[in-house]
Amino acid sequence: MRVRLAYGRSGLEIEVPRQRTTVIEPVQAPALADPDTALTAALRAPVAGPSLRELARPGQTVAISVCDITRAQPRREMAGAVLRELDGIVRPEDVTILIATGTHRANTPAELRAMLGDEILGSCRVINHDARDESSLVDIGESGKGVPTRLCRHWLEADLRITTGFVEPHFFAGFSGGPKMVVPGLAGLDTVLTLHDAVRVGDPRSTWGIIDENPLHTDIRAIAARREAKPHFSVDVLLDRQQKITHVFAGELFEMHGRACAAAKPIAMRETSS
């Protein structure tokens, strides 16, 4: 039988033996007819905590975390919605968009243009996080179970910190999005390597769809919960196979992410035999 893998930009078809193959596919949720309206509504009526406009104050510096080019996040739509909510309160020159690369390479100018668009690139500062640049990191001590914690200086020094991401099953962190947009997204190399060590990744609870009692995710949350690092507001979306938005969740980081993960489970975790 022929199976198409989500590989590269156009996919990859492979031949597999039908009698020994199980295909795991997502349950499809309908894409939102008007994602921009849904994003705005979520920012104004979050699942927990104050709205984004209630948190924003004139004169604040703002840091917005977004996924790098290796992830399918609709960055332009999500960052654009956040910037529209901040318009008239915070000056564009006081906003920094941080590309949460983790330990990945920096995104190129062409990639940033494809990710964010010229309007966003021209209105505020955009910085690729660099996990190896010592001058860009601040040591805030140990977190969780012995994790040396160094995070992006621009994130820690911002008056208003906002994460944007998307939630899908992750093979050892449980689910993406939420606190992962702080760490490993904006963390130093030693922090990331500790979180990804053999003990944590090798634990049987570090697996798809599990965030509670997942030792790796527990340490990620411990870092993201620290007063100096925690986002003041967070936004996550769910996507269909065409990378269209199906759900939007916003508000306090952990409540928002918990609801997004709960919504993602029945959508993403069904198995079907070929």
Give the per-residue SS3 of 35-102. HHHHHHHHHHCCCECCCHHHHCCCCCCEEEEEECCCCCCCHHHHHHHHHHHHCCCCCHHHEEEEEECC
**3-class DSSP assignment, residue 174:** strand
User: pTM of the full predicted structure?
Assistant: 0.92
Instruction: Write out pLDDT tens, residues 13-33.
Output: 999 998 888 887 777 789 999
DSSP one-letter string for 205-263 = TSSTT--TT-HHHHHHHHHHTSTTT--SEEEEEEE-TT--EEEEEEESHHHHHHHHHHH
Residue 15: per-residue pLDDT:
93
Spatial distance between the Cα atoms of 70 and 93, rounded to a whole number of angstroms:
27
- Phi, psi (5° rounding) for residue 135? -70, -20
Q: Which helix (H) or strand (E) holds 147?
A: strand 147-152
Residue in the block written with tokens 């991401």: 165
How confident is the model at residue 267, as a pLDDT? 54
Q: Determine how β-strand 137-143 pairs with β-strand 2-5.
A: unpaired
Q: Of 258, 58, 250, 70, whose CA–CA distance to 175 is shortest? A: 258
Strands 2-5 and 12-15: antiparallel
Instruction: Determine the Cα–Cα distance for residues 31 and 243; give it in Å rounded to an integer.
Output: 9
Segments of the chain scoring below 50 in pLDDT: 268-271, 273-274
Compute the distance between CA of residue 67 and CA of residue 137 in angstroms, rounded to an integer.
19
Strand (E) or helix (H) holding 190: helix 189-195
Give Cβ neighbours of residue 23 (< 8 Å, ≥ 6 apart).
Answer: 3, 272, 273, 274
Residues 139-184: tens digit of each pLDDT? 999 999 999 999 999 999 999 999 999 999 899 999 999 999 999 9
- Catalytic residue status for 217: no
pLDDT for res 10: 83
User: What are the structural domains of the chain?
Assistant: 28-269 (3.40.50.11440)
Can the peptide bond before residue 148 be classed as cis, meaning omega within 30 degrees of 0? Answer: no
Q: Residue 230 CB: number of other CB atoms within 10 A?
A: 17
Indicate if 247 belongs to the active site: no
CB atoms closer than 10 angstroms to residue 145: 12
Give the distance from CA 182 to its chain's centroid: 8
Distance CA 13, CA 11 (A): 7
Active-site hit among 154, 170, 232, 247: 170
